[in-house]
Amino acid sequence: MKIIGIMLVFSASSFCGIYLSGRYKRRINILEEINSIIISIKIMVESHTPTVEELFYALEKEKKLDSFFISKTAFLSPDYKRRIETECNSCSLLKEDDKRLFISFINDLGTAYLEGQISIINGYIKQFENKLAELKSEQNSKCRMYNSFGVLIGAFLSIILS
């Protein structure tokens, strides 16, 4: 019975490391999705200067919001800024600075003329690309570290319990 308990403790801590590694990878995926949406918005703004509501309807029509971490209804609601901010803040996978950056982007949409809007969007694209490059450069080492720590903690606890 003791062996089974030790194996369960070891497995649980190992899976905890795998879970943390998966969260890190999911954060990168969400940031890539955000960057993709921002690039799509830039293309739409450059091509025909739509209103913010028209941008969101076009994104929804192109099915860009289907797998996004914020629901389509938040984008398409009349009080979209508040709804997007609420849903973004409830996402536990993103760090606070990621959330603030995305909410800031949503709040800045439609606040300038065409050239200013494109310049603002380019700035956000650059910020997200820099953040993604940094996270991807650390991805292998951090994921390996999470997995290793899970196994090491499991082994340590197994030794203590035996």
| pLDDT 10s digits, 30-55 | 999 999 999 999 998 888 867 888 88
Q: Tell me the mean pLDDT in the region 80-86.
A: 91
Q: What ranges do the domains of the chain cover?
A: 2-161
**pLDDT higher than 90, residue 104:** yes
Put simply, whether the predicted model's pTM sits higher than 0.95 gets the answer no
pLDDT band at 68 (very low <50, low <70, confident <90, very high): confident
Both tokens of 49, joined, read 């200067």
User: Cα–Cα distance between 156 and 22 in angstroms, integer?
Assistant: 23
**pLDDT higher than 90, residue 130:** yes
In this structure, the number of other CB atoms found within 10 A of the CB of residue 104 comes to 12
**pLDDT higher than 90, residue 4:** no
DSSP state of 18: H
**pLDDT higher than 90, residue 135:** yes
Q: Which residues contact 72 (CB under 8 A, 6 or more apart)?
A: 60, 65, 66
Burial group, residue 142, by CB count within 10 angstroms (0-12, 13-18, 19+) = middle
Both tokens of 130, joined, read 């820099």
Is the Cα dihedral 102, 65, 115, 128 positive or negative?
Answer: positive
Model confidence over 11-28: pLDDT tens digits?
888 899 899 999 999 999
